Amino acid sequence: MAILETHHLSRRYGSLVALDDLNLKVEAGECFGFIGPNGAGKTTTIKILATLLKPTSGEARVCGFTVGWQNSHIRPLIGYVPDFLGAYEDMLVREYLQFFASCYGITGSRRSQVVDDALSLTDLGGKAEAPISGLSRGMSQRLAVARVLLHDPEVLLLDEPASGLDPRARVEMRELLRTLRDLGKTILISSHILHELAELCTSVGILERGKLVFAGSVQSALDAARSGTRLECELDGGIDSALSLLGALDGVRSVAVDEGTKDRLVVHLKTGTTLDAAGINARLVTAGVRVRGLSAERIDLETAFMRLTQGLVS
């Protein structure tokens, strides 16, 4: 079941197009990573889904309810964490959470229990009586997550939750989000820390200038980026035979002898080909060419992001 959906969603600020015909779907229980450079439209999308902005055209739906028409049904179902908390710094951590729990209509002994549970889940129990003004950036971000968990929302919308965190705090935030994912929450998270999204997310969407250029599993993003990859093939003789063989393959864009060597080929694969390093190796071995080594460039989510947004080919 799709928990978050957009259909031909657009948002303009005067002549500036922040979102351009966005069609997106996030299924129940997914952790969906939203990737894109600054100004790509990530925050605009999240704010629309959080009912804080109205789309210029198109439609956004959360748990089957339409943004702009059924906001009162949507808001109890979501937890929105902006990239900056903006908490009341003159309050204590527990006092702050109790205040927001009361805003959600949670009263009496249940409110104390809900606050204790949120403190425990976000590992802030030791800071319950500390002033918010004294919290580190990482603790402040965990407090922001604790606040939106008080009413047990189905959906979490997180805009750059790891922004500005030190390495230890980023690890702690990632582990917290992994726990929430395992609890069955549907999570949409935007981030510039791409390798952490690869570890956390079940699927990703890549935005460029307001347009969705890719949506799918992390593995499918890596596979898409792997098209056009560069291979280095070290041979024990048979260079001319290998050049002729590989140059005739449909999936090979170009093949040449590596400069300064007499036994190494550089092979560029075509974008969209299913041919890979294993296929190249098998064809050479079958033709009687002795392969000493075959290596492909490392493809990670950062490489996928650069290629899918800018069309870069090594």
For residues 8 and 1, which has the higher predicted lDDT (pLDDT)? 8
Residue 314 pLDDT grade (very low, low, confident, very high; cuts 50, 70, 90): very low
Who contacts 165 (Cβ-Cβ below 8 Å, separation ≥6)? 137, 138, 141, 173
- For the chain, domains (ranges, CATH) are 2-218 (3.40.50.300), 230-296 (3.30.70.100)
The pLDDT value given to residue 144: 93
The pLDDT value given to residue 277: 83
pLDDT in tens, 10-38: 999 999 999 999 999 999 999 999 888 88
Q: Which residues of 100-131 are buried (b: 16+ CB within 10 A; e: fewer)?
A: bbeeeebeeeebeebbeebbebbebeebeeee
Q: Residue 84: helix, strand or coil by DSSP? A: coil
Residue 150 has pLDDT above 90, yes or no: yes
Q: How far apart are CA 133 and CA 25, in angstroms?
A: 38
For residues 151 and 300, which has the higher predicted lDDT (pLDDT)? 151
The pLDDT value given to residue 311: 45
The pLDDT value given to residue 166: 84
* Mean pLDDT, rounded, of the chain: 87
Output the pTM of the full model.
0.77
For residues 47 and 312, which has the higher predicted lDDT (pLDDT)? 47
At which residue do the structure tokens 């003159």 appear? Answer: 90
Section 225-248 average pLDDT: 82
Section 231-253 average pLDDT: 88
pLDDT in tens, 69-78: 999 999 999 9
Q: What percent of the chain has pLDDT above 90?
A: 52
Section 232-258 average pLDDT: 88
Total residue count of the chain as it appears in this document: 314
